[in-house]
Amino acid sequence: MIKLVKNRKEKGKELSKFFCQTVADLMDHDDKLVFLDADLASPSGSTIIEKSHPDKFINVGIAEANMVGIAAGLSIEGFKPFIHSFAPFASRRVFDQIYLSGAYAKSTINIYGSDPGFTVGPNGGTHTSFEDVALYRTIPDAVIVDVADTTQLESAIRQAASEPGIKYIRLNRKAVRNVYEPGSEFTFGKGVVVKEGKDVLVITAGQILSDALDAAEELEAKGVSVEVVDIYTTKPLDVELILSRVKGKKALVTFENHSIIGGLGSAVAEVLAEHNVNIVFKRHGVTDRFGQVGTPDFLQAEYNLTGKDLVKTIEALL
């Protein structure tokens, strides 16, 4: 069962440490789990694993492509590796290795891509990923998870550890606002109707789910009923849920911390086109731009990814 928290202003635990602590806990009961990091143990929180399970932790250095190759080899030997680097280096830098040594070879690799989109903060344009989802969408059978909070993250890690294949989990390293009550369970390929509404459908995922709910509440006060769907996995996409919830709506907006090219907005647009759905539609995301230096709050505003920005988009459509 999935339940929402009563107070969405509260933040949960730091996501990076929570991620690694969850993996460490699973290692206590599964000797096939291993964790590889690209010289980022402190930023990723994987020092937790290095200390608690030193025989299951490998620091490969700043050699992300090599890290994927090692993980693929471990998978062939029956291990279930988790690997970490910042999102651009866990996606575009290692794309060929993930595609061939990972997916094509039927390896199991669980990829933790940290600080996607505006969450990268002062690390700047070279460390910004507005394209990671687009890349992983092209890899056959890959799973793409955009995590909203700690509860959803724990569910994603547990499912990833129990299933074969390539799984890409993108998330902020820092603490984010809670959306779901602890104990809520999620399934790859199944979205969640977080808030029902009759006028506009907003499809979103990840950290900015909270911002979408902020926007929905503001619009409700103005007489506009907004439904919010957390699509959770961009791949596999919950096509059935999208088609069922779009019925009767005046407009549909996708809202993502990613480029509008190739990400969630593109995936939803493909569904609408292939099923001949006629509706006013807008992709709200990053518009063909590179990253830059700034605080996460500054960058979120710079790329028009706040709840206020979403309100403006919906009002313009209506």
Domain residue extents for the chain? 15-171, 192-317
> Following DSSP, what letter does each residue of 228-250 receive, concatenated?
EEE--EEES--HHHHHHHHTT-S
Pinpoint the alpha helices (H) of 138-208.
150-162
Which pLDDT score, from 0 to 100, does residue 244 have? 98
Kindly provide the residue ranges of all beta strands, DSSP E only, lying in 174-301, ordered along the sequence: 192-195, 200-204, 226-230, 233-235, 251-259, 280-286
What residue ranges of the chain have pLDDT lower than 50?
Answer: none
Q: Sheet containing 57-59: which strands, arranged edge to edge?
A: 57-59, 33-37, 80-86, 109-114, 166-171, 143-146, 233-235
Is 64 noted as a catalytic residue in this protein?
yes
In CATH, which of 1.10.3720.10, 3.40.50.920, 1.10.760.10, 3.40.140.10 is domain 192-317?
3.40.50.920
Residues 6+ apart with CB under 8 A from 19: 44, 45, 112, 153, 157, 169, 171
What gap in Å lies between CA 39 and CA 242, rounded to an integer?
40
pLDDT score for 52: 97
pLDDT at 9: 87
Name the active-site residue from 10, 14, 50, 64.
64
- Strands (E) in 76-165, as ranges, are 80-86, 109-114, 143-146
Task: Quote the distance between the C-alpha of residue 142 and its chain's center.
Answer: 13
H helical segments located in 101-146: 132-137
**What is the domain class of 15-171 according to CATH?**
alpha beta
The pLDDT, as a whole number, for residue 1 is 80
| The residue to which tokens 């990723």 are assigned | 44
Query: What Cα–Cα distance (Å) separates residue 289 from each residue in 212, 215, 292?
Result: 22, 24, 9
Sorted by sequence, the CB contacts under 8 Å of residue 212 that are 6+ apart come out as 202, 204, 228, 255, 307, 310
